[in-house]
Amino acid sequence: MNSILLIIILIPAIEIYLLIKIGSQIGAISTILLIFTTAIVGIYYAKYEGLNTLKSGFLQLSKNETPAYEVISGAAIAFAALLLIIPGFLTDVLGFLLIFPISRKFIFSFFKKKINYKKKQNNDFIDGDYEDIEEDDDRKI
């Protein structure tokens, strides 16, 4: 089964389960207020972190350095804001993990290690140079 299809099916199912369980413990109104509170607080914090990332990116550009981390971090913050807007507790937890700089660096280093590991395994090529030689050229190979 395709992993994206599995994610599309599992995430709403987990969200519904968590909403029912938490709602039965703290009440329906409290659950709704908690969902709105996490969305509002998360969006404001995402705005704050996004502006910090933008400032850091401009600082990197002024030093004539590539702001690669800042670009990836900005995309992660935008995705985290989207996760925080979606009602549910699982998406809120994932969104807050992506917004906080400490956990974002940990997540990025985890994926960087996975990518570098895959790069090390794909060394099935031979690097070389070639030169076109004309037929009427007097040089011999």
Counting every residue written for the chain, the total comes to: 141
36-57: per-residue pLDDT in tens?
A: 999 999 999 999 999 999 999 9
pTM: 0.74
Contacts of 99 (CB under 8 A, 6+ apart): 42, 45, 46, 49, 77, 80, 81, 84
Percent of residues, the chain, with pLDDT higher than 70: 85
* pLDDT (tens digit per residue) in 71-95: 999 999 999 999 999 999 999 999 9
Tokens of 64: 């004539």
